[in-house]
Amino acid sequence: MKLLFVADPLDTFKTYKDSTFAMMREAARRGHTLVACEARQLVWLRGGRVTARGAHHITLTGDAHDWFKLEATADVALADVDAVLMRKDPPFDSEFFYATHLLSQAEREGAKVFNKPSSLREHPEKLAILEFPEFISPTLVTRDPAEIRAFHAEQRDIILKPLDGMGGMGIFRVKDDGLNLGSIIETLNKDGTQTVMVQRFIPAIAEGDKRILIIGGKPVPHCLARIPQGNEVRGNLAAGGKGVARPLTARDREIAEYLGPILVQRGLLLVGLDVIGENVTEINVTSPTCFQEITDQSGFDVARMFVDALEEALH
């Protein structure tokens, strides 16, 4: 099969931990052809098809640094490959949004895109949890500072976060004393022009912010608990958290087995749930990661499970 990866520039990959690289490596092991492009290379012209201009046909070298060899550069119509994998990292900004529309047009032309572009648009990673209130902690979404203050008065210990953040960026904790709440509200909601998510603080963050991967509607049996270090409240690896692979708990499995079949029916082949304690905090669909960390520590081959699911979805 020929697989087209829409991703960040290849020379920015940190191959020792990159999940897209893990997918490529497993696909190459099975003899599949690898093609890569960036979202900015997607082009549509009336009378033609959505095309990746100057897409890179690559082979993997096995070298940790010079990890790919460029075999050829060519224009590739997305409908002419067996699968398109949208692996552009967040943020989900306007350009990401426009790229999903080009990918939807490619689907109309016959392309098979994973994750499904319309579902990427319909599942913003923080707001997607609102559909499943039985699995989340007390949560508020608002632009109104008064609503945030009232929520803090009721919950006493809260987390505030922007809706477009990633890697723990812009996350604040305000305890019972309300210290700096006004300043934090001003910073995040920018005089009422930006929407903020506010949640009750979950003490179980001390045990880790768990990334649970769901592939083809089924949970990977191990998660990666991202544990905050020092005085940090964020467990995100990008914020210095320590990743520890663990078997799923009964509650983890209950959540994943409920959400998995729903999400895969929507064309979400790969989902990354963020779970703290017994509560889902995010449903990541744009470019879920942690493949290599889970595999290296648990021995469970996540990339193999993913390519198995991809091949099954294409048959």
Instruction: Please report, for the domain that includes residue 192, its CATH number.
Output: 3.30.1490.20
Residues 111 and 56 in one domain: yes
Report, as an integer, the average pLDDT of 107-126. 96
Task: Look at residue 239 in the predicted model and tell me its pLDDT.
Answer: 64
Residues 16 and 47 in one domain: yes
The lowest-confidence range among 66-70, 82-86, 167-171, 177-181 is 167-171
Q: How many CB atoms are closer than 10 A to CB 288?
A: 24
Task: Look at residue 168 in the predicted model and tell me its pLDDT.
Answer: 72
Mean pLDDT of the chain: 95
Residues 226 and 309 in one domain: yes
Report, as an integer, the average pLDDT of 43-68. 96
Decide: pTM greater than 0.85: yes
Q: Is residue 122 part of a domain?
A: no
pLDDT(235) > 70: no
pLDDT(92) > 90: no
pLDDT(123) > 90: yes
Choosing from 51, 81, 115, the residue where a domain stops is 115
CATH number at 48 reads 3.40.50.20
Where does the pLDDT of residue 187 fall: very low under 50, low under 70, confident under 90, or very high at 90 and above? Answer: very high
Q: What's the domain count of the chain?
A: 3
Residues 229 and 296 in one domain: yes
Nearest Cα to Cα of residue 282 among 72, 132, 105, 155? 132
**Could you give the C-alpha distances from 96 to 44, 49, 92, in angstroms and in order?**
16, 19, 5
Report, as an integer, the average pLDDT of 41-58. 98
Positions marked catalytic? 126, 161, 211, 226, 234, 274, 282, 284
Nearest Cα to Cα of residue 141 among 124, 157, 156? 124
pLDDT(295) > 80: yes
Q: Is residue 130 part of a domain?
A: no
Where does the pLDDT of residue 165 fall: very low under 50, low under 70, confident under 90, or very high at 90 and above? Answer: confident
The boundaries of the domain holding residue 34 are 2-115
Report, as an integer, the average pLDDT of 1-17. 97
CA distance 141 to 214: 26
Task: Look at residue 231 in the predicted model and tell me its pLDDT.
Answer: 72
Where does the pLDDT of residue 161 fall: very low under 50, low under 70, confident under 90, or very high at 90 and above? Answer: very high
Task: Look at residue 166 in the predicted model and tell me its pLDDT.
Answer: 73
Report, as an integer, the average pLDDT of 272-281. 96
What percentage of residues in the chain have a pLDDT greater than 70?
A: 98
Report, as an integer, the average pLDDT of 244-268. 98
Q: Is residue 51 part of a domain?
A: yes
Q: Is residue 121 part of a domain?
A: no
Residues 221 and 193 in one domain: no
pLDDT(238) > 80: no
Residues 13 and 103 in one domain: yes
What percentage of residues in the chain have a pLDDT greater than 90?
A: 89
Choosing from 161, 183, 201, the residue where a domain stops is 201
Residues 164 and 221 in one domain: no
Q: Is residue 102 part of a domain?
A: yes
Residues 214 and 296 in one domain: yes
